Structure 1
C-alpha cells in the first residue's frame, strides 16, 4: 500500500518530480538505492533481495524512471508466477508491458521527459493513463482516487514545486501528515497490519526526470511505520 506523489508541469520541457513512500513487510530484505543489476548497465534502484527485481528503478542517463505500487486483484496465486519488480526493471530500461502480465495487480508509474504514465493491471486488463499537468497521488486504486482516504486527506497538502527546495518542501508536507497515527486509513506513513497486510512504511525516495536525465535520492525510516526527519541522498 505504497504512496506516490507526482507533479507534472505545464511546460513539457520542465522536470517531472515525485516523492515515493514504500510500504513492505519489514522481514522482506531489500537493498538500498544502487546499481544492483550487471545485466542492466546504467540502471539503479531499490532492489528486492528475494526476487531480484526493483520497487523503484531509474536509468539516470536515459532519463527514465519506474515505480510500482500493489493493486487489488482477483488473480489466483498459482497464476501470478512473475515478479512485479522485474516489470519495474523492464520499464526503467525502456521496455513495454505484456497484454496480460503474469503477476498480481499493480499500478506502474513510468516517467520520461515530459511524460508520466500509469499502467493499471487488475488481472482483467491493463489500462493506461497519461497524467495531465498538476499534482497527482497514486496508491492502491486509481490515480487521484476519491475512494482512497489518504488521497482525499492529503492531496492538496503537496503544492506544485516552486523552486529547488521542493524535496524539503514535500518532506515537510509528508511530516505534517504524521500527525495521524500510522494505523489511520488516512495516513501516508503507515502501519497496514490492522488493515490485514503485514506491511509498514520503510523508506522514501524523491526523483526528478527531465531531458537532462533522472536524479533519485533515498532515505530509510529508522523504525518501520514511524516518522523521523529524513535527509535523502
Structure 2
C-alpha cells in the first residue's frame, strides 16, 4: 500500500519529479538506496533482497525510473505458482516491462523517463496501461488519482497546491513543500484511512511505512534522494541524501 506523488511537467525541458513512500513488512529484508547489482553498474535502487530485484530502481544511462506499488488481485494463484513482484522495477529500467499475463499478485508499476510517465496495472486478470497526463497526481493501491482511495481524495489537492519548485530561491530542495504536506498528513495517525505514513496491520496486512525517496528524472540526469523513517509507521524530521 505504498504511495507516490508525481509531477509530470507540461514543459519538456523540465524533469519529471516524484516522491515515493514505501509500505512493507519490516521483517522483509531490503537494502537502502545503493548500487546493488554489479552486473548493472549504472543502476541505483532500493533492493528487495528476497526477490533479488528492487522496490525502486533508476538507470543513470537510460534516464529511467520504476517503482512498484502492490494492489489487489491474483489471489487465485497458488503460492507455488506466484512469481515475486520485486523483480519488476529492475526489469523495467533494463527495458523489459511485464507481459500481458504475469504470474504475479496485483501491482501498479510506475515507469518514468525524462519526458513521460505511465502506470502498468495488473489485477490478476487484466493488464492495463495508463499514461499520466501533465500535472500532479497520486498513485496508491488502486488507479491513478482514484477518488475511492481516502489518502488520495484527502491529500491530492494539498500536493497540487504545494507544487515543487525546481529552482527555489532560498536553496531548499524542490521536494520540501511535499515533505511539509507529508508532515501534516502524519498528524492523522498511521491507522487513519487518510494517512500516507501508515500502519496497515489493522487492515490485515503486516506492512508499515518504512522510507521515503524523492527523484527527479530529466534529459541530462536522474537525481534521487533517500531517507528511512525514524521507526516503521512513524514520521519525523528526514534528511534525504
Deviations for 1:23-81, whole angstroms, at most 9, x for unmatched residues?
Answer: 00111111000111122231110011222110000002320000000010043233652
Q: TM-score, normalised by structure 1?
A: 0.96
Aligned to 1:221: 229
Structure 2 match to 1:59: 59
Name structure 1 gaps, 5 residues minimum. Answer: none
Match of 1:168 in 2: 176
1:132 aligns to what SS in structure 2? coil
- How many aligned residue pairs are there? 233
Q: Secondary structure at the match of 1:128?
A: strand
Deviation string for 1:172-218 (max 9, x for gaps)?
11111111010001000000001110000000000000111211110
Is the alpha carbon distance of 1:185 and 1:212 closer, same or farther for their aligned partners in structure 2, counting shifts above 3 Å?
Answer: same
Distance 1:145 1:160 in 2: 19
Aligned to 1:198: 206
Alignment of 1:12-161 (within 5 A): 12-75=12-75, 76-78=77-79, 80-158=81-159, 159-161=162-164
Q: 1:179 to 1:206 in 2, by over 3 A?
A: same
3-state secondary structure, aligned to 2:239: coil
How much has 1:162 moved relative to structure 2?
A: 2.5
Moved more, 5-14 or 92-101: 92-101
Taking structure 2 as the reference length, the TM-score comes to: 0.93
Q: 1:190 to 1:40 in 2, by over 3 A?
A: same
CA RMSD in angstroms comes to: 1.2
